[in-house]
A and B are shown apart, each in its own frame.
With several copies, the nearest count.
Chain A
Amino acid sequence: MAVKIEKRSGCVIATLDGDIDHHTAKNIRESIDSEVEKTKPKILKLDFNKVNFMDSSGIGLIMGRYKLMKLLNGDLELINVSQRIGKIMRLSGIYKLKKY
């Protein structure tokens, strides 16, 4: 699992690559949070384009980042969610937090 962090005009974009599970979530979380706490962006975008696998640890990861962004009066956006990963996203009710 790798995570690439980019900054772009008030945005932080985290591109996730590989499997998201409890083992890999820790690293991803730390990389994202350290950047977000430093930059305090308006929007945090999580890019799932290269994610092959995600279990409910990934949902925990998203919920945690959602709360963090609310604290900072910012927004969270999920982009490039594949059908395969969409299934667990829908089950989690995460789409009800806001429209994506």
Chain B
Amino acid sequence: MKIINEMRLVFPSKSLNESFARTTIASFISCLDPTISELADIKTAVSEAVTNSIVHAYKETVGSIYISSQIYENGKITIKIKDKGSGIEDVKKAMEPLFTTGGEERAGLGFAVMQSFMDKIKVISKIGKGTTVTMEKTIIPRVKLNK
């Protein structure tokens, strides 16, 4: 399937970049003319993954967060969110709803939201090396995509 657009974005793990990241993705996919609900789903999933890198991966430090995204001819969007932070010991357990190591104010629902709001999600993590979350969602294009 042909890629019709792509982008890469790098920024530091500061919490004010949670909104920057999801707004940038929203602007990037706007050429597909997504519905308000498709747009909200994708923004929320990106917000969850970026927040995890800020809150968990780079807990006491500031590190870089790497986002890359592709749009395919058929309306498929892939989004990769990567950090070089702490890594996750047990990915399967981490992905269980309500599981959190983040204390009182974390709901433990970040991965559950990503799973439910996107078509596919894959998590690769290595302790001390970092975590990569890859997500996918297909939007039925409502406008003709040219160039």
Contact = CB atoms under 8 A, between A and B. Distances in A.
Interface of A: 19, 21-23, 25, 29, 53-57, 59-61, 63-64, 84, 87-88, 91-92
Contact of B48 (A29, A55, A64, A92): A55
A23 B16 contact: yes
A22 B110 CA distance: 11
B60 interface: no
A21 B16 CA distance: 10
A53 B106 CA distance: 17
B105 interface: yes
B40 A53 contact: yes
Interface string B41-53: 1011001100100
Nearest to A20: B47
Nearest to A57: B51
Interface in B99-146: 104-107, 109-110, 112-113, 116-117
A85 to B, nearest CB: 9
B36 A55 contact: no
Interface of B: 15-16, 18-19, 22, 36-37, 40-41, 43-44, 47-48, 51, 54-55, 104-107, 109-110, 112-113, 116-117
Contacts of A91: 109, 112-113, 116
Given A22-B54, A56-B48, A56-B110, A84 B105 contact: no
A64 B104 contact: yes
B24 to A, nearest CB: 14
Contact of B105 (A53, A64, A88): A64
Nearest to B103: A60
A63 B15 CA distance: 21
A22 B107 contact: no
Contact of B44 (A60, A61, A88): A88
B27 to A, nearest CB: 12
Contacts of A29: 105
